[in-house]
Chain A
Amino acid sequence: MTEPAARAVATPKPRRDLDRAVVRFAGDSGDGMQLTGEQFTIEAAVAGSDIATLPNFPAEIRAPAGTLFGVSSFQLQFGSQRVYTPGDHLDCLVAMNPAALKVHLGDLKTGGLLVVNTQAFDKRNLDKAGYTSNPLDDPALAERYRLHKVDMTALTVQAIQDLALDTKEKNRTKNFFALGLVSWIYTRPLDSTLEWIKRKFAKNPLIAEANTRVLKAGHAFGETAEIFSEHYQVEPAEMAPGLYRAMTGNRALAWGLLAAAERSKLPIVYGAYPITPASGILEELAMHKRFRIRTIQAEDEIAAVTAAIGASFGGAIGVTASSGPGIALKGEGIGLAVTAELPLVIFDVQRGGPSTGLPTKTEQADLMQALYGRNSESPIVVLAPATPGDCFYVAYEAVRIAVKYMVPVMVLSDGFLANGSEPWPIPDPSTLPPIDIHFRTEQEGFFPYLRDPATLGRPWVRPGTPGLEHRIGGIEKQDVTGNISYDPDNHDHMVRTRAEKVRRVAQEIPPTSINGPATGDLVVVGWGGTYGAITAATERAQLEGKSVASVHLRHLNPLPPDLGHILREYRRVLVPEINSGQLVRVLRAEYLVDAVGFNRVRGLPLATDEIYEALTQLLEGQA
């Protein structure tokens, strides 16, 4: 039944922590990059970061505009911990013209954030920078980096259209657009810069007004375009040999579905309503119709999930996705899939809440919603990817489990994973476990709720199969026959059966991998996008000789069968989460262990430092 050797498991890799970001502003020497960098430095300092800066400008007071040697740049590194250098590789590059891109692109990390001012990429500037064609038109650029093409010049002029300034004066304020945008991306407050503008241009209120407006316009643009930051990044120290590509979590979820469609030989019907940060999956899938991925941009979240259920009823693989608010709306539909016992895959790309909350900030606070957020007893399988690349395997695994057990499977991604990009070792898809599809066709002895003794799954019948016409629905049904039943004992039996079916998915879970000693003083248990920070904090403690291990859960329901035993092998259990303590409650309830939570709900990924501090305190008995 199970294929332990061939399970979809991401390659674990060593990581080093990098709770900081390196940003470089680059443009023409007349673009005001030094001023921009200096102001951003102050903003970052005000926000409590440690900082190191590296201004870099041409010796000429006014080097010829647009040339490679006329490029001026300002780099800074800021972070929550001690920062000793301005950094080697860039997390974010702002390029105001082609020359700046050419000079600095080589320093940008794969998957880094690249913001360019598109208007400067005209024939003249491209020639001066030595580009024979526009590098922004090369799809490889957007694949390797998280590219944001912004017409900063036009947006700047629009923001101050009515002010009595000439075009040159207006254009000159565009560096403040860039500053506003980057301040948004890295959540740095604008106050210090607004103050500075007031002081600096006290005698020229018109210029002060223009700079203020443009700064705010850049900031507002970041919010409207919903550009994500990810400055607390943890990266692998050394990479295993192999072929790599850059991968974001959203694309990996989409490609995992493509792999599942190909392997199962079934069409996937993907119902979704646009919502940040999940829309990228819909957009990605819509480009791959030749995999028989049929995307429906539904009228609302409820239609999205019910269309997916209709597709599963028809013998395709129904998938829907959203973020927390949309998942709340889908709850009744998911319950229908639970009782109709149809395969359904649901992606929840979590964001800050409640309600609209923080649409562009990450959070892990939908775990309880995933486990319990439906009326009555409606258990589903819940999985969580640990890294952007891991989303590929988890999406595939979700489909495999959903069709094998005839059960809804929810995947908890988050804004950090969705938009985060990492160098990803390209897998050989033939090594993925098979997705076996069995549509029932034999009439002899058929009942809609007959059960497979191993999985408890019921038969999947494609409408169109002669002699197997049957009706299913949301009303409680008698086991086996599927006829409507209000019998109290049957209901009790069905509640238990649906729960047991989900519980049996535990037979798909490989032995839990422990990072560190199998027994000791402390185990750190995490799930989802905190994987990197938890692993780095644990490894730092281990280097210092502390008796600490970490365990990262991909299966949240059912939990790994060996987990209870593992937790009891340590004196203390620490559970860091970006919520107010959800997994920790589950673990306490499930295993009666005195697990302790470490919880920060700031819309930001957890930092290695803070986890390290929490585990140290717990070890020292201070927590």
Chain B
Amino acid sequence: MSATTGAGPTQAPKYTKKDFESDQDVRWCPGCGDYAILSAVQKSMPDLGIPKENIVFISGIGCSSRFPYYMNTYGFHTIHGRAPALATGLRVARPDLKVFVVTGDGDGLSIGGNHLLHLLRRNVNLTVLLFNNRIYGLTKGQYSPTSELGKVTKSTPMGSADRPVYPVAFALGCGATFVARTVDRHIAHMEETIKRAAAHKGTAFVEILQNCNVYNDLAWNVMYDKEQRLAHELRLEHGKPLLFGPVDDRRALVMDGLNPTVVSAKDTPADRLWIHDESNANAAKLLADLFAPDYPVPVGVFTAVNAPVYEEILMEQEQRAMSERGAGDIAKLLTSGDTWKIE
């Protein structure tokens, strides 16, 4: 191994979005929400300050998982559901790399749900972007694990019989240390959220509400339609009260006993307001289940906390083993312990 195979220059050159565009034709359906996400990710990259040869995108299978082909970084389009496991192995081999996992609701929460669970609890230092369009797109329109109960699709002509999983609640339940939600049509918010996630130490999980205009158009219309969005979008901001709704009908989210409750903002005394605290993962769990029409739809960072990072612990153990007993020596090991000579 020569020195040139190392992590490359530590100081990243000044990049533009264009530096992160690969020469491959993008093959998503016209009008797909993935285009906006790709653009937001490419636009966010220069701000990370990381040399692009040190960035790796790992994906599984599904529409979202074509993502690495379009990024001019290192990339690996793997097998269905297994990107979190593969990325874990990559991080253990190469803790110097910046790793992104791109997945979808089917890839990440159905076939790969188990791997996502263990990635999050291990707190491997990487960023997960989960594109949630509540449908199987690549296989042409079967319901997904995030589809609403009773969803009528090709595989469920009389409606689906299984209740959906909520990605944010799932991630928090797995012990995720950074959980956020953003929307494919809110470009600035998406970029801001991706950048914050990328800066987090540990597994950063971002649910991106994404439109599949072919098989599940406007599944997130509550976030697209101007009026509905105005009524329901709740921007989570650390240290600020949970307020939402139009200026003339401002609403506040407060706790009534153990229940989150929507009240009129102007009638609520300041000391009753729920101040968002990213360091409080328990509060985040209460927010995770809220959704329109009865509740606001929280977007932004639900929680961001510090916890031990899996591969850092492994590296620390390796370093300790080497400093305490020296680097391994197979010749010594072979002749150590109980040996005997035959003349």
List the 10 closest pairs (A to B, CB-CB), nearest first. Answer: A473-B77, A307-B89, A310-B89, A291-B328, A303-B85, A316-B93, A314-B93, A310-B86, A471-B75, A310-B90
Chain A residue numbers with a CB within 8 Å of B158 are none
Residues 284-300 of A contacting B (Cβ, < 8 Å): 288-292, 294, 296, 298-300
The answer to whether B75 and A306 touch across the interface, beta carbons within 8 angstroms, is no
The answer to whether A303 and B118 touch across the interface, beta carbons within 8 angstroms, is yes
In whole angstroms, what is the CA distance A332 to B78 when docked?
A: 10
Residues 256-283 of B contacting A (Cβ, < 8 Å): none
Given known A-B contacts A332-B79, A439-B5, A473-B69, A464 and B331 have beta carbons under 8 A apart = no
The answer to whether A437 and B1 touch across the interface, beta carbons within 8 angstroms, is yes
In whole angstroms, what is the CA distance A483 to B27 when docked?
A: 13
Interface residues of B (CB under 8 A from A): 1-2, 4-9, 22, 24, 51-54, 56, 58, 61, 68-69, 71-79, 82, 85-94, 96-97, 114-115, 117-118, 314, 317-318, 321-322, 325-331, 333-335, 337-343
Instruction: Determine the residue in chain B with the shortest Cβ distance to A439.
Output: B5
- Minimum CB–CB distance for B269 against chain A, Å: 48
The answer to whether A471 and B338 touch across the interface, beta carbons within 8 angstroms, is no
Instruction: Determine the residue in chain A with the shortest Cβ distance to B314.
Output: A294
Given known A-B contacts A299-B115, A309-B86, A430-B331, A463 and B53 have beta carbons under 8 A apart = yes
The answer to whether A307 and B328 touch across the interface, beta carbons within 8 angstroms, is no
Chain B residue numbers with a CB within 8 Å of A310 are 58, 76, 85-91, 93
Instruction: Determine the residue in chain A with the shortest Cβ distance to B84.
Output: A303
Instruction: Determine the residue in chain B with the shortest Cβ distance to A425.
Output: B342
Kindly state whether residue A106 has any CB partner on chain B within 8 Å.
no
In whole angstroms, what is the CA distance A316 to B97 when docked?
A: 13
Instruction: Determine the residue in chain A with the shortest Cβ distance to B335.
Output: A426
Given known A-B contacts A243-B341, A463-B54, A471-B77, A296 and B93 have beta carbons under 8 A apart = no
The answer to whether A469 and B90 touch across the interface, beta carbons within 8 angstroms, is no
Given known A-B contacts A306-B86, A437-B1, A294 and B93 have beta carbons under 8 A apart = yes
A80-88, A117-125, A137-145, A225-233: which lies at the interface: A137-145
- Minimum CB–CB distance for B3 against chain A, Å: 10
A189-229 to B contact mask, C-beta < 8 Å, 1/0 = 00000000000000000000000000000000000000000
The answer to whether B1 and A299 touch across the interface, beta carbons within 8 angstroms, is no
Chain A residue numbers with a CB within 8 Å of B1 are 265-266, 437, 439
The answer to whether B89 and A258 touch across the interface, beta carbons within 8 angstroms, is no
A262-276 to B contact mask, C-beta < 8 Å, 1/0 = 100111010100000
Chain B residue numbers with a CB within 8 Å of A12 are none
Chain B residue numbers with a CB within 8 Å of A471 are 22, 24, 68-69, 71, 74-77
- Minimum CB–CB distance for A574 against chain B, Å: 34
At the interface, is chain B mostly helix, strand, loop or mixed? Answer: mixed
The answer to whether A239 and B342 touch across the interface, beta carbons within 8 angstroms, is yes
Would you give 17 A-B contacts (Cβ < 8 Å), ordered by A?
A242-B342, A244-B341, A245-B339, A262-B328, A267-B93, A289-B322, A290-B322, A290-B326, A312-B93, A313-B86, A314-B94, A315-B5, A463-B94, A466-B53, A469-B52, A471-B76, A473-B77
Kindly state whether residue A259 has any CB partner on chain B within 8 Å.
yes
Known A-B contacts: A288-B333, A306-B86, A474-B78. Give 8 more (CB < 8 A): A241-B341, A244-B339, A245-B338, A246-B338, A294-B92, A306-B79, A314-B94, A471-B22
Chain A residue numbers with a CB within 8 Å of B53 are 463-469
- Minimum CB–CB distance for B51 against chain A, Å: 7
The answer to whether A315 and B73 touch across the interface, beta carbons within 8 angstroms, is no
In whole angstroms, what is the CA distance A151 to B162 when docked?
A: 49
Instruction: Determine the residue in chain A with the shortest Cβ distance to B70.
Output: A471
Chain B residue numbers with a CB within 8 Å of A324 are none
A320-339 to B contact mask, C-beta < 8 Å, 1/0 = 00000000000011011000
Partner of A429, one of B322, B330, B340: B330
Interface residues on A, range: 35 or more
The answer to whether A299 and B118 touch across the interface, beta carbons within 8 angstroms, is yes
The answer to whether B334 and A294 touch across the interface, beta carbons within 8 angstroms, is no
The answer to whether A288 and B339 touch across the interface, beta carbons within 8 angstroms, is no
Partner of A307, one of B85, B318, B322, B334: B85
In whole angstroms, what is the CA distance A246 to B338 when docked?
A: 8
The answer to whether A302 and B322 touch across the interface, beta carbons within 8 angstroms, is no
Instruction: Determine the residue in chain A with the shortest Cβ distance to B115.
Output: A303
The answer to whether A472 and B76 touch across the interface, beta carbons within 8 angstroms, is yes
In whole angstroms, what is the CA distance A292 to B314 when docked?
A: 10
Chain B residue numbers with a CB within 8 Å of A316 are 93-94
The answer to whether B85 and A245 touch across the interface, beta carbons within 8 angstroms, is no
Chain A residue numbers with a CB within 8 Å of B96 are 464
- Minimum CB–CB distance for B15 against chain A, Å: 12
Instruction: Determine the residue in chain A with the shortest Cβ distance to B6.
Output: A464
The answer to whether A244 and B340 touch across the interface, beta carbons within 8 angstroms, is yes
The answer to whether B86 and A441 touch across the interface, beta carbons within 8 angstroms, is no
Chain A residue numbers with a CB within 8 Å of B7 are 464
The answer to whether A258 and B333 touch across the interface, beta carbons within 8 angstroms, is yes
Kindly state whether residue A108 has any CB partner on chain B within 8 Å.
no
Kindly state whether residue A261 has any CB partner on chain B within 8 Å.
yes
Of A308, A310, A332, A336, most B-chain CB atoms within 10 Å: A310
- Minimum CB–CB distance for B86 against chain A, Å: 4
The answer to whether B343 and A318 touch across the interface, beta carbons within 8 angstroms, is no
Partner of B76, one of A294, A313, A335: A313
In whole angstroms, what is the CA distance A33 to B118 when docked?
A: 50
Chain B residue numbers with a CB within 8 Å of A368 are none
Partner of A292, one of B24, B74, B328, B330: B328
- Minimum CB–CB distance for B174 against chain A, Å: 12
In whole angstroms, what is the CA distance A265 to B75 when docked?
A: 25
Kindly state whether residue A9 has any CB partner on chain B within 8 Å.
no
The answer to whether A333 and B76 touch across the interface, beta carbons within 8 angstroms, is no
- Minimum CB–CB distance for A225 against chain B, Å: 23
Kindly state whether residue A470 has any CB partner on chain B within 8 Å.
yes
- Minimum CB–CB distance for B126 against chain A, Å: 11
The answer to whether A473 and B118 touch across the interface, beta carbons within 8 angstroms, is no
Chain B residue numbers with a CB within 8 Å of A261 are 328
In whole angstroms, what is the CA distance A59 to B307 when docked?
A: 68
Given known A-B contacts A243-B339, A314-B90, A429 and B331 have beta carbons under 8 A apart = yes
Of B52, B115, B317, most A-chain CB atoms within 10 Å: B115
Chain A residue numbers with a CB within 8 Å of B114 are 299-300, 303
A462-499 to B contact mask, C-beta < 8 Å, 1/0 = 11111111111111000000011000000000000000
In whole angstroms, what is the CA distance A468 to B53 when docked?
A: 8
Partner of B89, one of A243, A265, A318, A484: A318
Chain A residue numbers with a CB within 8 Å of B78 are 306, 309, 336, 473-474
The answer to whether A143 and B93 touch across the interface, beta carbons within 8 angstroms, is no
Chain A residue numbers with a CB within 8 Å of B2 are 441
Chain B residue numbers with a CB within 8 Å of A311 are 89-90, 92-93
Chain B residue numbers with a CB within 8 Å of A239 are 342
Given known A-B contacts A303-B115, A471-B68, A474-B79, A464 and B89 have beta carbons under 8 A apart = no
Of B91, B97, B337, B338, most A-chain CB atoms within 10 Å: B338
- Minimum CB–CB distance for A231 against chain B, Å: 24
Chain A residue numbers with a CB within 8 Å of B328 are 258, 261-262, 288, 290-292
- Minimum CB–CB distance for A391 against chain B, Å: 14
Partner of A262, one of B75, B97, B117, B329: B329
The answer to whether B8 and A306 touch across the interface, beta carbons within 8 angstroms, is no
Kindly state whether residue A48 has any CB partner on chain B within 8 Å.
no
Instruction: Determine the residue in chain B with the shortest Cβ distance to A143.
Output: B338
Instruction: Determine the residue in chain A with the shortest Cβ distance to B3.
Output: A441
The answer to whether B335 and A470 touch across the interface, beta carbons within 8 angstroms, is no
A129-171 to B contact mask, C-beta < 8 Å, 1/0 = 0000000000110011000000000000000000000000000
Kindly state whether residue A435 has any CB partner on chain B within 8 Å.
no
- Minimum CB–CB distance for B30 against chain A, Å: 19
Given known A-B contacts A306-B79, A463-B53, A255 and B8 have beta carbons under 8 A apart = no
Of B94, B314, B325, B340, most A-chain CB atoms within 10 Å: B94
Instruction: Determine the residue in chain A with the shortest Cβ distance to B340.
Output: A244
Instruction: Determine the residue in chain A with the shortest Cβ distance to B23.
Output: A483
Chain A residue numbers with a CB within 8 Å of B90 are 310-311, 313-314, 463
Chain A residue numbers with a CB within 8 Å of B317 are 289
Instruction: Determine the residue in chain A with the shortest Cβ distance to B56.
Output: A463
